[in-house]
């Protein structure tokens, strides 16, 4: 009886155990994405986040075996052991593991590392799933069609990682020894720095040239209009100074003016292709004033999913792509939406766009996951910044599948008896086409001139003439938008690297951002000077683009991953060893002795360049460690003996300026004060900038209305 009872108990226990269903573990990269996907897949799945790379090269050493085909020595990333163990425990008790990291080289490497780690410790089926958007149907389809890890993509990531490690970890020590502690160099960042420095040289060397224009105000019957001088004796006018401009006006006085030409032209305007990463960053910078980093952060949030009502929804497709390809499902969806809401703007067949030759094409273009999710509908679900960026993406995608817009330009020529010709034109939209869906992306149209209906031969009257002085404009400094555009055109980096490259240059204080312009610092110029002199073959646009092409060949299984390194490393190593021995040290060359005296020990203070700019430090260091910010001007508060210095804090995004006697004096300004006193009230002028006036100076005193432009100094 006892044996029978025992057997029955075992059977019961076994039966209970078998009823406990094992779940499938899905591993993604971010927690937000995990929440969205877990809701889509239901109770049979557990979704966890790896939070990026868990296994990678260590930071403390180079970890590349140069004598063994450049094999990397991977370790668990410091601080990530606990998370890795949690994922291992979850994987061990699961019936299967689906690795769902991003569908790019970095994501493939994350998946490969996790697979390698799990397979060493336990036996569980492991597969890879990829998707371009986080919607229920796409996620379920990916789960139903698991695949193997793409080893070629992993090899391409490995080649890139090892190459960048060799360049960074070999070049940086040279810079520490010869220039300044704490500085660094990198394969892509150093080329971007070179481009910014070269543009700065062009800006500094540019000498503006004066020129003048002449406009005439004319009238016909009850209408008046303005026309610009466009021809003198059949040639473009070239008025170099005020005297020449005045001579032209004098020659026009007492002349008769008649209409000698009328033209009406229609122009068909095509919609732009759907967005790639670089185009999204450029558009967000130009239209919304977002930095590349901020654009990608917000796009990531939209991709991973936000709460729309009670439901978490991934609103856009993957935001790191260089392809303009659109899936057939998305084409059908958008055409149905256009047919219902903008029937006059629906083309007969879908519009196709060709992707450039060197695009990886792993992902579609950036688009909304559902055309029916309009910006208006999502207003209450998104933050202000999310709504703006989503609107750009939505408008761009909808418009790319709509018919052309048509504009009509009406232009007239007014000629004087002495063969001087004036021209005026007016353009208006006669067919909205794809503009029907655009609000944020609608061109900033200038006020169209109201031109009278004239006939050739009609005489017009002169109201007056106006001369205006101008100066030729030099090359513009790079902004986030323009440097991203150039990096893409030159084939430097990939969609995933544009924003991090700019951020790294700013963090290293090689570049500062002022009025959305990227300006190299003294330190950035010095680093670039050394790198371009001694490593011009590495900080070279062609070399960097060539590396990207070789990585593409590795991913296409046409080249071995370490062949790039075998070709690059030997001459690089030889040059490094030579410079480490023979290059003269430049340490301290950026320091400058000042008249300021250290209040602690009485020794002179030295102006030194630190990570975040110049500061004052005691020349008695390390015996005296006194340091402080460089005073900009006297504090404008009445009775205060303090000075204004640049400050920063964790709670504020931007730099600000405050008094050295804080908290006794709470003076604070968002604008940089100068030593120039206001001629009206005597308080300091501050530097300001706006699109209309550019850079100018105005009084810091809110009760004073003095505006001081640079031209008045």
pLDDT above 60 (res 321): yes
Length of the chain: 713
- Residue in this structure with the two tokens 């205060």, named with its chain if needed: 640
* Euclidean distance between CA atoms 290 and 292, whole angstroms: 6
**What is the model's pLDDT at position 325?**
92
15: helix, strand or coil: helix
* Euclidean distance between CA atoms 342 and 354, whole angstroms: 25
When pLDDT is averaged across residues 612-622 and rounded to a whole number, the result is: 85
User: Which are the contacts of 178, defined by CB distance < 8 A and separation ≥ 6?
Assistant: 530, 579, 583, 584, 585, 586, 587
C-alpha dist (Å) from residue 504 to 106, 191, 535: 18, 12, 20
pLDDT in tens, 426-473: 988 899 999 999 988 777 654 456 789 899 999 999 999 999 988 888
The residue ranges of every structural domain in the chain are 24-149, 157-206+476-582, 214-270+406-471, 277-403, 591-630, 634-713
If we measure between CA atoms, which residue out of 230, 223, 212 comes closest to residue 422?
230
User: Which are the contacts of 403, defined by CB distance < 8 A and separation ≥ 6?
Assistant: 344, 345, 346, 347, 433, 434
pLDDT above 60 (res 5): no
* Euclidean distance between CA atoms 232 and 250, whole angstroms: 14
318 catalytic, yes or no? yes
114: helix, strand or coil: helix
What are the structure tokens assigned to 464, written together? Answer: 């007056």
What are the structure tokens assigned to 447, written together? Answer: 């006020």
Please give the helix or strand (H or E) that residue 109 lies within, else none. Answer: helix 105-121
Looking at domain 277-403, its CATH architecture is Orthogonal Bundle (1.10)
CATH superfamily of the 157-206+476-582 domain:
Topoisomerase I, domain 2 (1.10.460.10)
Start-end of H helices in 311-362: 328-341
Name the burial class of residue 18, with classes exposed (0-12), middle (13-18) and buried (19+) by CB atoms within 10 angstroms of its CB: exposed
**What is the model's pLDDT at position 648?**
67
| Residue 604: CB atoms within 10 Å | 14
Residue with more model confidence, 613 or 55: 55
pLDDT in tens, 476-523: 899 999 999 999 998 888 888 899 999 999 988 899 988 889 999 888
DSSP strand E in 19-155: where?
A: 24-28, 45-49, 55-56, 64-65, 71-72, 75-76, 96-99, 126-128
pLDDT in tens, 32-62: 889 899 989 989 999 999 999 999 999 999 9
pLDDT in tens, 139-191: 999 999 999 999 999 999 999 999 999 999 999 898 888 888 878 888 899 99
| Residue 188: CB atoms within 10 Å | 23
Of the candidate CATH numbers 3.40.50.140, 3.40.50.1970, 3.90.980.10, 3.40.50.410, the domain formed by 24-149 belongs to 3.40.50.140
pLDDT above 50 (res 539): yes
When pLDDT is averaged across residues 63-86 and rounded to a whole number, the result is: 95
Mean pLDDT score across all residues of the chain = 88
pLDDT in tens, 668-708: 888 888 878 887 788 888 877 766 555 677 888 877 777 65
C-alpha dist (Å) from residue 470 to 273, 361, 713: 36, 46, 18
Question: Mean pLDDT lowest for which of 9-18, 312-321, 365-374, 651-660?
Answer: 9-18
| % pLDDT > 70, the chain | 92
What's the CATH number for 214-270+406-471? 2.70.20.10
pLDDT above 50 (res 712): no
268: helix, strand or coil: strand
* Euclidean distance between CA atoms 347 and 338, whole angstroms: 9
* Euclidean distance between CA atoms 194 and 487, whole angstroms: 12
**What is the model's pLDDT at position 289?**
92
Catalytic residue among 318, 370, 435, 509: 318
What are the structure tokens assigned to 361, written together? Answer: 């094409």
**What is the model's pLDDT at position 12?**
45
pLDDT in tens, 195-220: 999 999 998 888 888 899 999 999 99
**What is the model's pLDDT at position 689?**
72
- Report pTM: 0.80
Confidence bin at 10 (pLDDT 50/70/90) = very low
226: helix, strand or coil: strand
């Amino acid at each position: 009886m006892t044996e029978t009872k025992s057997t029955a108990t075992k059977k019961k226990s076994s039966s209970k155990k078998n009823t406990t269903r094992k779940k499938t573990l899905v591993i993604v990269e971010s927690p937000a994405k995990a929440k969205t996907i877990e809701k889509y897949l239901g109770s049979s799945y557990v979704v966890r986040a790896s939070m990026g790379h868990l296994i990678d090269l260590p930071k403390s050493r180079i970890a590349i075996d140069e004598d063994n085909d450049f094999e990397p020595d991977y370790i668990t990333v410091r601080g990530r052991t606990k998370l890795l163990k949690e994922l291992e425990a979850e994987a061990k008790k699961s019936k299967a593991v689906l690795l769902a990291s991003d569908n790019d080289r970095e994501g493939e490497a994350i998946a490969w590392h996790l697979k390698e780690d799990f397979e060493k410790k336990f036996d569980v089926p492991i597969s890879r799933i990829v998707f371009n958007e986080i919607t229920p149907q796409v996620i379920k389809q990916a789960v139903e069609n698991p695949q193997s890890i793409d080893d070629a993509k992993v090899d391409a990531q490995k080649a890139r990682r090892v190459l960048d490690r060799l360049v960074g970890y070999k070049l940086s020590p040279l810079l520490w020894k010869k220039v300044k502690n704490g500085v660094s160099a990198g394969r892509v960042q150093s080329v971007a720095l070179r481009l910014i420095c070269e543009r700065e040289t062009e800006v500094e060397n540019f000498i503006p040239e004066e020129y003048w224009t002449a406009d005439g105000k004319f009238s016909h019957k009850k209408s008046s209009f303005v026309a610009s001088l466009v021809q003198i004796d059949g040639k473009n006018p070239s008025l170099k100074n005020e005297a020449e401009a005045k001579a032209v006006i004098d020659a026009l006085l007492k002349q008769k003016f008649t209409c000698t030409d009328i033209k009406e032209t229609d122009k068909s305007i095509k919609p732009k292709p759907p967005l790639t990463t670089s185009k999204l960053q450029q558009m967000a910078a130009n239209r919304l004033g977002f930095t590349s980093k901020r654009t990608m952060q917000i796009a990531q949030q939209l991709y991973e999913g936000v709460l729309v009502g009670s439901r978490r929804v991934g609103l856009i497709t993957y935001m790191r792509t260089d392809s303009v390809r659109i899936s057939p499902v998305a084409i059908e969806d958008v055409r149905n939406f256009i047919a219902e809401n903008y029937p006059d703007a629906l083309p007969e067949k879908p519009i196709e766009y060709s992707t450039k030759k060197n695009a990886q094409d792993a992902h579609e273009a950036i688009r909304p996951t559902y055309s029916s999710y309009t910006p208006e509908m999502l207003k209450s679900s998104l933050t202000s910044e999310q709504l703006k960026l989503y609107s750009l993406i939505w408008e761009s995608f909808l418009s790319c599948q709509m018919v052309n817009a048509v504009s009509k330009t009406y232009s007239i020529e007014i000629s004087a008896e002495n063969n001087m010709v004036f021209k005026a034109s007016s353009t208006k939209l006669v067919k909205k086409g794809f503009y029907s869906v655009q609000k944020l992306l609608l061109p900033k149209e200038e006020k169209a001139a109201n031109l009278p209906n004239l006939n050739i031969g009609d005489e017009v009257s002169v109201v007056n003439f106006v001369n205006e002085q101008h100066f030729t404009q030099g090359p513009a400094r790079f902004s986030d938008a323009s440097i991203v555009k150039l990096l893409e055109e030159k084939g430097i980096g990939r969609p995933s690297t544009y924003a991090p490259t700019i951020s790294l240059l700013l963090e290293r204080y090689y570049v500062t951002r002022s009025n959305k312009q990227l300006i190299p610092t003294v330190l950035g110029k010095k680093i670039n000077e050394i790198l371009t002199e001694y490593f011009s073959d590495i900080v070279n646009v062609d070399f960097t683009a060539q590396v990207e092409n070789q990585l593409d060949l590795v991913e296409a299984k046409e080249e071995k991953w370490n062949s790039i390194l075998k070709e690059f490393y030997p001459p690089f190593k030889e040059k490094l060893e030579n410079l480490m021995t023979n290059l003269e040290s430049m340490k301290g060359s950026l320091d400058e002795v000042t008249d300021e005296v250290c209040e602690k020990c009485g020794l002179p203070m030295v102006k030194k360049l630190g990570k975040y700019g110049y500061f004052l430090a005691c020349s008695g260091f390390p015996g005296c460690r006194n340091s402080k910010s460089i005073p900009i001007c006297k504090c404008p508060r009445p009775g205060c003996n303090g000075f204004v210095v640049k400050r920063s804090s964790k709670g504020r995004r931007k730099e600000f300026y405050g008094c050295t006697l804080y908290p006794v004096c709470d003076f604070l300004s968002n604008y940089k004060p100068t030593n120039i006193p206001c001629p009206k009230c005597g308080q300091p002028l501050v530097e300001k900038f706006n699109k209309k006036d550019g850079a100018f100076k105005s009084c810091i005193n809110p009760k004073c209305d003095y505006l001081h432009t640079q031209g008045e100094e």
